[in-house]
Amino acid sequence: MSGGTAGRRWAVLLVLPALVPVAAVVGAALVSAVLLSLGLTPLVGQPRLSLDAWRGAAGDLGTATLLSLGIAAAATVVAAAVGLCLALAATAVVRRSRLLGALAALTIPVPHLVGAAAMGLLLADTGFLPRLLGVSPDAWPPLVGGEWWVAVVAEYAWKESAFVALVVGGVLASRARSYDETAALLGAGRWARFRFVTLPLAAPALGAASAVTFVYTLGSYEVAALLGRPFPEPLPVMAVRLAGSIDLTVRPQAAAVAVTTAVLALAAVLLALRALRRLSAWD
Amino acid sequence: MAAARRPIAAGAALLALAGCAAPASEAPGAADRPWDEVLAAAEGQTVDLWMYGGDEAGNAYVDDVLAPAAAELGVTLRRVPVADTGDALDRVLAERQAGTTEGDVDLVWVNGENYAAGRQAGAWLCDWALDLPNRQYTDPGDPLLQNDFGVPVEGCESPWHKAQFTLVYDSARVPEPPTTLAGVLDWAQANPGRFTYPAPPDFTGSVFVRQVLTTATGGAGEVPLEYSQEAYDQYAPELFDRLAELAPALWREGSTHPQSQQELDRLFADGEVDMTMTYGPATLIDLVADGTFPDTTRVLTLEEGTFGNASFLAIPSTSGDSAGAQVVADLALSPAQQVAKADPGTWGQFTVLDLDRLDEADRAAFEQLPPSPVVPPYEELSRNAQPELSAEWVAPLDEGWRRSVLAS
Amino acid sequence: MGLTARVARAALAAWLLLPLVPLVLWAAADRWTAPAVLPQAWGTAGLRDAVDAGAGPASLRSTVLGLVVAVLATPLGAMAGRALATYRVPVGGAVLAALLSPLVLPPFAVALGLDVLLLRLRVPEPVGVFLLLTVAALPYTTVLMRAAYAAHDTGFEEEARTLGATARQAVFHVQLPLLAPALAGAAFLAFLVGWSDYVVTLLVGGGQLVTLPLLVASAASTVGNEAQVAVLSLSSVLPPLVLLVAVGLVGQRGRA
């Protein structure tokens, strides 16, 4: 690895073109939202520093946070597990499945809004699946708009499993095969090869992709809005409902919810980075 | 950490940029000038009309009928489809806050909620709609054109079409429908699982709750249009009690509600419930024609009547092409355009014009329109029509419903 | 291949495909009401409606938007990924966290002040859209390229340098071809950020760019448009797929 001052300067130069616009946009967006939530940039009335918006939103904030975290965690776990399997199948040494790779690629460009519509058509009480299985709407569990947010989690897990497969598969394709072949030549069994070669190689990418999935799900609105239920509501749905209120003075509350979402997501990113640093190949 | 200092510096800069003050809530007025000059100024302008894009018939009318007619007047009409009119309002409010004068939104198809919200921040241009030449064909005393959601219209938006809040049922599944809203609630309780309504603040669900307040519970027929805390305290509790009592008989035992009219329509189309509701009955024509709704879909006219309103075209106070926008709004109000739009084969929207003020030929054109296969004529639908409660009622009722009915 | 493996692969294929089945059926359905398992009437109404809604020009605009975002975000992400994976970046952890931070911004937060700021600064609408979407795409390209560089064997480059190649030659003739699959993946994800965005394109773009997601969102906001939504959706899957095949070919050539 390159070190020294020249290396450092070179590294900074390489990073800055990405870092500057990111810092500017994210900084400006967060500061704008914080100012709005503190009553300093109201749409109507005089600017006045106050915590009213935070107080107003506080009542529902706890439930919304728990619900959002729950949905994001469930979707991430399923997406990571299925995505890893897909990546393994698509890059396996023996009988590599080009078909699964292609199908995963097919799923990635589907926008979440469309994915939500598709999941609704599939899983609703009178959706394609109950019709196919011959189950009457009354007997079908309430997957869409039900208490357990099944359709919402399923949509995120479905879409993001393909994303995980893309990221992990990319690493495995470029790297794992040669190691795997070497290990096989040295006589390692299938399980041992998976446990000691493939998994450690895949782990950093898997961890990073999972973190991205978690944070994305936490802040995403349309799927929960289309396939969820009106109460209780996850953070983004709450924020959009408040932002769209006929009463413009409620908008600072939406900003407070958005800031809460961003802070939670930031904490998740930092935790994930910390965990990733422990994985040898990552740092 | 540099990252920690950055927001503070940026915050100071932002405060300066934000200028600290909210935009004035007084709406700016349009320049007072003869119509000839407006027409001349409009020549060559491109008008961006932001409108809800989910209504295919409406899109087709604007693209194929209104836009070509505007082109003949030298105005290019560009339709920007949005999933929710609130998106258009968001853009206008941002432009308003930034003090833009050459904004990207020139005309918006608004309903009462968006209009009332925008008025709070002076988002709409005023002093123009009453001066449109074709305005002479409307009735100045028409209450639907004087107030929109209890907010005075005052030349800040130009009427486009009339609408009536309407319950819709499947006559194959409800052979003997109730005739009053109180009767509908009783019917729902007698037929568990076959009825529900969208959760406010969905527009339609919100209207339904207000309709129950004004005609089926509380002070049926006596709730004051003007909002006051006393009126709310007096009438809202009975409303919420009635709806809570109804809840166990609703779809999924009322443990949840559809989140939008769209979801309710889907339940109706799939036969999970027997009734749906809409503030835009014109859409029913297409829904039945393309087989989404059954052929036996019927409109339920209530004895005591329902809310009626008009929807309008509003010009944002930030519009850079407001002359062109006025020309389009005037064109949209012309007898020729209104009759084309009222044709059930085109869009089927009820006219805002007063037929008595039209000349013989125009009136004949309206009278010769074919009847809609699903939607009764406006006279029948709007019998005993009631004015909407004022906009201040909306937020407290929506919030109260969330707390008292949904969350309990 | 054992039976278990076969079943597992079939299950994975079903997981990926099943949600798309109703969409594909709807795209060719003129009428499909419950409880019929298959459409009662097949036809091209959805296609016709989609064309009427302006799907053609809209997908062209979406393509341009996606390509611009990919062209901007891929090299920036690759450079940052390279720096983070192989050089010692001062406070590397914080830098990485900052580069991932656009992920924590929910898209709707744009309407809570950022749009006003861009208007005040008189940033031209297209520039604002490109800037915001590129920033939104950078976490993806950075993560992907960082992982690729971390797994990348610098031995080949060093060998090339030993054999007399310049640093530039080593990057363009050895490093980048080796990383072509990862670069293609990163470009693809960045493309999708531009391709599928609704909020930024509409609110910051001021409605000047009517892209495919705007049409999809409008059509999907009511019942009765299922066929049109299905056609629009499938047509929004095809171009990225073509792109994917194209970059896949590039990637394979790079690997060979």
How does DSSP assign B73-95, residue by residue? TT-EEEEEEESSHHHHHHHHHHH
- What pLDDT does A281 receive? 45
Q: What is the mean pLDDT of residues B290-306?
A: 93
Which region among A64-78, B206-220, C59-73 has the lowest average model confidence (pLDDT)? B206-220
Task: Report yes or no on C112 lying in a domain.
Answer: yes
**pLDDT higher than 70, residue A3:** no
In angstroms, the separation between the Cα of residue A222 and the nearest Cα of chain B is 12
In angstroms, the separation between the Cα of residue B336 and the nearest Cα of chain A is 34
Residue appearing with tokens 């071809």: C177
Task: Report yes or no on B18 lying in a domain.
Answer: no
- List, for residues B150-205, the tens digit of each pLDDT value: 899 999 999 999 999 999 999 999 999 999 999 999 999 999 999 999 999 999 99
- What pLDDT does C179 receive? 86
Task: Report yes or no on B2 lying in a domain.
Answer: no
Burial of B325 (0-12, 13-18, 19+ CB in 10 A): buried
Upper half-sphere CA count for residue C239 (Cβ side, 13 Å): 23
Interface check for A17 against chain B (CB to CB < 8 A): the answer is: no
What residues of B are in the A interface, CB distance below 8 Å? 3, 6-7, 10-11, 14-15, 18, 20-23, 25, 84, 86, 90, 93, 97, 113, 116-117, 120-121, 199, 201, 252, 255-259, 263, 266, 270-272, 391, 394-395, 402, 406-407
Upper half-sphere CA count for residue B325 (Cβ side, 13 Å): 32
Same domain, yes or no: B71 and B176: no
Task: Report yes or no on C81 lying in a domain.
Answer: yes
**pLDDT higher than 70, residue B407:** yes
**pLDDT higher than 80, residue B17:** no
Residue C146 CA to residue A11 CA, distance in Å, equals 13
- The closest of B322, B202, B312, B305 to B263, measured between CA atoms, is B202
- What pLDDT does C35 receive? 87
Same domain, yes or no: B294 and B402: yes
Omega before residue C35 within 30° of 0, cis: yes
**Helix ranges, B334-393 (H):** 335-342, 360-367, 378-381
**Beta-carbon pairs below 8 A across chains A and B:** 105
**pLDDT higher than 70, residue B397:** yes
CATH number at residue C230: 1.10.3720.10
> What's the pLDDT band for B19 if we cut at 50, 70, 90?
very low
Higher-confidence residue: C177 or B237?
A: B237
> What's the pLDDT band for A1 if we cut at 50, 70, 90?
very low
Q: What is the mean pLDDT of residues A13-17?
A: 95
Is residue B347 within 8 A of residue B282, CB to CB? The reply is yes
pTM of the predicted protein model: 0.93
- The closest of B87, B151, B141, B158 to B119, measured between CA atoms, is B151
With beta carbons under 8 A apart, name residues in chain B contacting C92.
none
Query: Cβ–Cβ of B23/A43 closer than 8 Å?
Result: yes
Sign of the dihedral defined by the CA atoms of residues C23, C24, C28, C34, in that order:
negative
Same domain, yes or no: B198 and B278: yes
Task: Report yes or no on C12 lying in a domain.
Answer: no
Residue B99 CA to residue B216 CA, distance in Å, equals 46
Angular region, A78: left φ>0, alpha ψ -120 to 50, beta rest? alpha
Is residue A226 within 8 A of residue A116, CB to CB? The reply is yes
Query: Cβ–Cβ of B291/C41 closer than 8 Å?
Result: yes
- What pLDDT does C1 receive? 61
Q: Which of A2, A9, A14 is most worth mutating to test chain C (most C CB atoms within 10 A of its CB)?
A: A14
- What pLDDT does C251 receive? 54
- What pLDDT does A200 receive? 86
Interface check for C19 against chain A (CB to CB < 8 A): the answer is: yes
Q: What is the mean pLDDT of residues B242-248?
A: 96
Same domain, yes or no: B289 and B346: no
With beta carbons under 8 A apart, name residues in chain B contacting C220.
54, 83
Q: What is the mean pLDDT of residues A8-30?
A: 94
Residue B64 CA to residue B67 CA, distance in Å, equals 6
| Touching partners of A (3+ C-beta pairs < 8 Å) | B, C
Task: Report yes or no on B248 lying in a domain.
Answer: yes
Same domain, yes or no: B216 and B290: yes
Q: Which of A114, A231, A273 is most worth mutating to test chain B (most B CB atoms within 10 A of its CB)?
A: A231
Q: What residue numbers bound the domain in which C237 lies?
A: 47-255
Quote the radius of gyration of chain C (alpha carbons, Å).
22
Task: Report yes or no on B111 lying in a domain.
Answer: yes
Task: Report yes or no on C24 lying in a domain.
Answer: no
Interface check for A35 against chain B (CB to CB < 8 A): the answer is: yes
Q: Are strands B147-148 and B158-164 parallel, antiparallel or unpaired?
A: unpaired
Q: How many domains does chain C have?
A: 1
- Look at chain B and count its residues: 408
With beta carbons under 8 A apart, name residues in chain B contacting C211.
none
Same domain, yes or no: B194 and B286: yes
Query: Cβ–Cβ of C93/A273 closer than 8 Å?
Result: yes
Q: Please name the residues between 129 and 168 in chain C that touch chain A, using a CB distance below 8 Å.
A: 131-132, 134-135, 138-140, 142-144, 146-148, 150-152
Q: Please name the residues between 58 and 117 in chain C that touch chain A, using a CB distance below 8 Å.
A: 76-77, 79-80, 82-84, 86-90, 93, 95-114, 116-117
Same domain, yes or no: B266 and B358: no
Question: How far, in Å, are A127, B110, B400 from residue B213 at the CA level?
Answer: 35, 24, 13
Angle C125-C126-C129 (CA atoms, 0-180°, nearest 5)? 90
- List, for residues B73-91, the tens digit of each pLDDT value: 999 999 999 999 999 999 9
Q: What is the mean pLDDT of residues A143-151?
A: 95
User: Going from the N-terminus, what domains does chain A have, and what CATH number goes with each?
Assistant: 63-282 (1.10.3720.10)
Q: Which of C123, C209, C218, C228 is most worth mutating to test chain B (most B CB atoms within 10 A of its CB)?
A: C218
With beta carbons under 8 A apart, name residues in chain B contacting A249.
120
Helix or strand run (H / E) with residue B206: helix B203-211
Helix or strand run (H / E) with residue B300: strand B297-300
Is residue B327 within 8 A of residue B196, CB to CB? The reply is no
**pLDDT higher than 80, residue B23:** no
Q: How many Cβ atoms from other residues are within 10 Å of residue C20's Cβ?
A: 22
With beta carbons under 8 A apart, name residues in chain B contacting A32.
14, 18
- List, for residues B250-272, the tens digit of each pLDDT value: 999 999 999 999 999 999 999 99
Same domain, yes or no: B263 and B399: yes
Q: What is the mean pLDDT of chain A?
A: 89
- List, for residues A78-125, the tens digit of each pLDDT value: 999 999 999 998 887 667 777 888 888 888 888 898 899 999 999 999
Q: What residue numbers bound the domain in which B202 lies?
A: 166-306+386-406
Residue B12 CA to residue B82 CA, distance in Å, equals 34
Residue B32 CA to residue A73 CA, distance in Å, equals 60
CATH number at residue B355: 3.40.190.10
Sign of the dihedral defined by the CA atoms of residues B192, B193, B199, B205, in that order:
negative
Same domain, yes or no: B201 and B248: yes
Mean pLDDT per 10-residue interval, chain C, length 256 residues: 86 95 93 90 93 92 95 97 86 89 88 92 95 96 88 81 86 84 88 92 94 92 90 83 69 49
Same domain, yes or no: B86 and B149: yes
**pLDDT higher than 80, residue B133:** yes
> What's the pLDDT band for B114 if we cut at 50, 70, 90?
very high
| Tokens standing for residue A258 | 């958005």
Query: Cβ–Cβ of C207/B97 closer than 8 Å?
Result: no
SS3 B103: strand
| Tokens standing for residue A198 | 């493939």
Same domain, yes or no: B174 and B205: yes
Q: Which of A248, A263, A266 is most worth mutating to test chain B (most B CB atoms within 10 A of its CB)?
A: A248
Query: Cβ–Cβ of C225/B82 closer than 8 Å?
Result: no
Angle A7-A12-A15 (CA atoms, 0-180°, nearest 5)? 125
Amino acid (one-letter) located at A79:
A
Task: Report yes or no on C208 lying in a domain.
Answer: yes
Which region among A1-10, A256-265, B3-12, B147-156 has the lowest average model confidence (pLDDT)? B3-12
Task: Report yes or no on C113 lying in a domain.
Answer: yes
Task: Report yes or no on B85 lying in a domain.
Answer: yes
With beta carbons under 8 A apart, name residues in chain C contacting B83.
198, 214, 217-218, 220-221
Q: How many domains does chain B have?
A: 2
Q: What is the mean pLDDT of residues B310-338?
A: 97
Query: Cβ–Cβ of C207/B265 closer than 8 Å?
Result: no
In angstroms, the separation between the Cα of residue B374 and the nearest Cα of chain A is 25
Query: Cβ–Cβ of C135/A21 closer than 8 Å?
Result: yes
SS3 B165: coil
Task: Report yes or no on B14 lying in a domain.
Answer: no
Task: Report yes or no on C151 lying in a domain.
Answer: yes
Same domain, yes or no: B203 and B278: yes
Burial of B3 (0-12, 13-18, 19+ CB in 10 A): middle
- What pLDDT does B3 receive? 42
Residue B367 CA to residue C80 CA, distance in Å, equals 70
Residue A64 CA to residue B119 CA, distance in Å, equals 31
Q: What is the mean pLDDT of residues A169-180?
A: 73
Is residue B343 within 8 A of residue B336, CB to CB? The reply is no
Query: Cβ–Cβ of B80/C111 closer than 8 Å?
Result: no
Nearest-by-Cβ selection for B53 from C94, C203, C218: C218
- What pLDDT does C218 receive? 92
- Residue burial B183-210, b: 16+ Cβ < 10 Å; e: rest: ebbebbeeeebbbbbbbbbbbbbbbbbb
Task: Report yes or no on B135 lying in a domain.
Answer: yes
Question: How far, in Å, are A251, C231, C250 from residue A99 at the CA level?
Answer: 48, 24, 19
Residue A173 CA to residue A160 CA, distance in Å, equals 19
Task: Report yes or no on B228 lying in a domain.
Answer: yes
Query: Cβ–Cβ of C214/B266 closer than 8 Å?
Result: no
